[in-house]
Structure 1
Amino acid sequence: MTSHPHDPGEPHPAEGHAANGEDLAALLARLLEETGKTQKDLAEASGVKYPTLNAWITRTRGTSRVDPEQLRALADSLRGWGGSVTPKQIFESAGRPVPGPSDAEREARLLKIYRGLSARQQRSLLGIAEEMASSSRA
């Protein structure tokens, strides 16, 4: 008998687990129950498309390529409803490194530097940033 790589009953091979052993599917299911909200409520509040959220919860889609802003939005929405979760737990449960805090001043400084570069330098900088982001996901 062959094993299917995306068996809904099993975690996706690229998935991680939060410190308490929950993957993203288990964590979200628990928090939805805790807050009395539905998947559709969470999808609407976080801006994540319902089919995508449902696929994460049913483990039919992996989370290794999830946009970090989507994970932050999930955490923010759940916390807004009284759910006991931190962004760190959400990232860990998705098997993703926890990004550093966003700082408006640092972002503005980086954007100013970027805008001062030539087109070639901007492409190089983007390549470096993309490489850094992909290596942090691995």
Structure 2
Amino acid sequence: MNSHQNHPGAHDAEDLTPAGEDLAALLERLLSQAKGKTQKNLADESGVTYQTLNAWMNRTRGTSRIDPDRLRALAGAFREWGVETSVREFFEAVGRPAPGRLSEERESRLLKLYRQLPPDKQRLLVEDAEIMTKIVSGQ
């Protein structure tokens, strides 16, 4: 399994987002390229409720704390529809740094190390990773 299969929406395309484009503008632009697709289709395909997606598109709900998997799912839906996009576009549109490329070798090594730790140390490692994720995402 390659890294693209591990995380839907993983894509190493060049940054395609026009400078300063927020999530609402990005979604509108990409939906205009997805012929015959609607906000409802996007909500269904990505697992985001229609109400939440609509609020993002109308800028009535903040986007800085969107779960990274939701951003990946949105990018994945567009790519399934043949629209060229990248996960990086979505992260930049919400003002967050895009995660690094996935490495199966590194992921496997980390999991192996994790499994070698006693339960209390596994818990600490997970807590540390959660803290690092919050720092990186600006939360």
TM-score by length of 2: 0.78
Q: Residue in 2 aligned with 1:54?
A: 54
TM-align CA RMSD: 1.6
Identical-residue share of aligned pairs (%): 55
In structure 1, give the amino acid aligned to 2:87: P
Report deviation, 1:119.
Answer: 1.8
Give the total of aligned pairs.
121
Cα deviation for residue 19 of structure 1 reads: 4.4
Please give the alpha-carbon distance, in whole angstroms, between the structure 1 residues aligned to 2:136 and 2:18.
Answer: 19
* Aligned mates of 1:19, 1:41 — CA distance in 2: 24
Q: Tell me which residue corresponds to 1:134.
A: 134
Is residue 83 of structure 2 the alignment partner of residue 95 of structure 1? no
2:63 matched residue in structure 1: 63
Q: Which runs of 5 or more structure 1 residues have no equivalent in the other structure?
A: 1-17
CA offset at residue 106 of structure 1?
2.4
Judge conservation of contact 1:47–1:73 (CA < 8 Å) in 2.
yes
Tell me the TM-score normalised to structure 1 length.
0.79
**Which runs of 4 or more aligned residues in structure 1 lie more than 4 Å from their structure 2 counterparts after TM superposition?**
none
User: Do the aligned partners of 1:19 and 1:92 also contact (CA within 8 Å) in 2?
Assistant: no
Cα distance change on mapping 1:113 and 1:65 into 2, 3 Å: same
